[in-house]
Structure 1
Amino acid sequence: KEFSEETKQHFKKKEKSKAARDNSAQIAAGFINIVAKAAGIILILIAFSFLLALISGFWFMPFGFHFTHGIFHFSFPEILTTIFSSGQWINATMIALAILVGIPIFWILFAGIQLLFDIKNPSKYLGVITLILWLAAIATLGLATARGFKNFASYTEGRAEYVLTDSQWPNLYIQLDTDKIKNEAIYWKTVRFGGRSIGWQETHDRRFGNPELIILESKNNDMVLKVTKASRGSSPSQAGRNVSNIEYTFLQKDSLLILDPVFYFDKDDGWRNQNVILELKIPKDKIAVLDKKVRNHLNVRSSSKLNIIDQ
């Protein structure tokens, strides 16, 4: 049975419409495939960038953040040595951090490879294994964090007061030991926690920090320098040992007070928030003249009632 001409035209239009739809679908599929491959390349590049940053930060070179209250110029092993004194905890934390960061990087890389080469989904066991490892890394970091907090559980201070010789001059000149400033410049590795910083050299067994200087009015017209050394530790006795290991010196020559720009403590003690506070009490009629390097190296605070000049 032959179809009418009108019916034949109708079928031809339907065939053309179907061909047009198929052609559009192929174009869309091709475009989606191109976008998927481009996304795969981008994911692979991102994964490799994160991987290089992870490897360099963990094992090769320090990198850092630079802002007002934060940490700058560090590598992860150096940070961990300031918190943990045990090599086992340092290694466990390093491994846990590598797994915690490495597994997401692995899946980003794998997703990029899947998109680029049209690879099917992996075995479900791979996802389960990586999830277990990732959760184990979180648990290990939780234990390490608890251990780290334990190292700061106790706080101890040690104080000593020194009566300074009151010269006939109306001014008290306060300077820093310039030789030790030069030596401090050699200490290129620095870790900053908030407003404090510590630093060290690879060839030295001690670290240093910058003390605080507080200038107050003396109540009895005596010039007194009170040196307070403070530290935390896992126990009161450990905090006390950390305090006893803090080294700080100063020198007075007539109307000149020479302060050390840094205090030192043993590298094996780790960072336990060691600090030195210098509380200088001077008579109200005495003029304190600060060398410009004093404010550059020390955290200086003073009473508004005193006459203090920056030179």
Structure 2
Amino acid sequence: MEETALCLRVGHFLPYSMLESNTTDFTNPSTFILLGIPGLEAAHVWISIPFCAMYTTAILGNFTILFIVTREPTLHGPMFYFLCMLAVTDLVMSTSTLPKMLSIFWFNSREISFSACLTQMYFDHSFSGMESGILVAMALDRYVAICHPLRHSTILTCPLVAKIGLAVVLRSGIIALPYPFLARRWPYCRTNIIPHSYCGHIAVVKLACADIRISSYYGLFDLFSVNGMDVFFIAVSYTQILRAIFRLPTKDARHKTFGTCISHLCAIFALYIPIFFFSLSQRFGHNVPLYLRVLITSVYQVVPPVLHPMIYGLRTKQIRGRLLQLFTHKET
């Protein structure tokens, strides 16, 4: 019923021939139609302003992190390697969805080919998983730095950091593979209109004329086995970190050490709260308005890439100092 109502509501956006093709049977649609944010079509231009500003900030911020770390030999350490991995992940994840989203908001360019939709789906899920894995690696780095500071350089060596990065990439890439394959195998015979701003897995397979429980169950398996386990490992790491902090002799030392962890905790909440909200609301949140679900998940595509350079860059003394040094050098 929800999809039918949406088809009627967006009829004035689409030519007659396209509407006619949406009501005929087809098993492999050549294109999908992305609605953007259903119910807020009139405000798309205004919504695009903060999205464009955040996307530009994310691009500049993450490239700045990569530039500073690669140019400064003193920053070639585990924490900054993980930070570079996070910056690359943020750039790819946001770029896989935001340009198309902005083209919908600005130019009403709603069509996306079936193959491009599946590619976008794969990149979104795989790089979202990579981001989660990198946050676990950064939590491990904080744990070793605070709980075993004298052994930090011997525990987190460059080869180990490379192996952790490779494991994160392989895990996320392999686990995300079934998403496009599952979406491709279903027949689509009702409509090719996706009530979303990008090709999320559940948003696409809900259009299928088949029992999609396998897709839904796999999404829940991914959510709880990957993201759930990552949250568990992060919680364990920070439990040990907090125990070490409370054992510090002075109040100033406790505040200073805890301050280094606050930024990481903010990044963790910014990533996992929208992930769990979107995944669960798509399946069980029928009372949550559709426009609100789509808006929150669209914002999720750009908020972490914006926050990470600010949280880790501006709050990290070495990067902040190097950035100020670059600007000061240019002024002189």
What's the TM-score, normalizing by structure 2?
A: 0.27
Larger fraction in helix: 2
Larger fraction in strand: 1
Q: Which has the larger radius of gyration?
A: 1
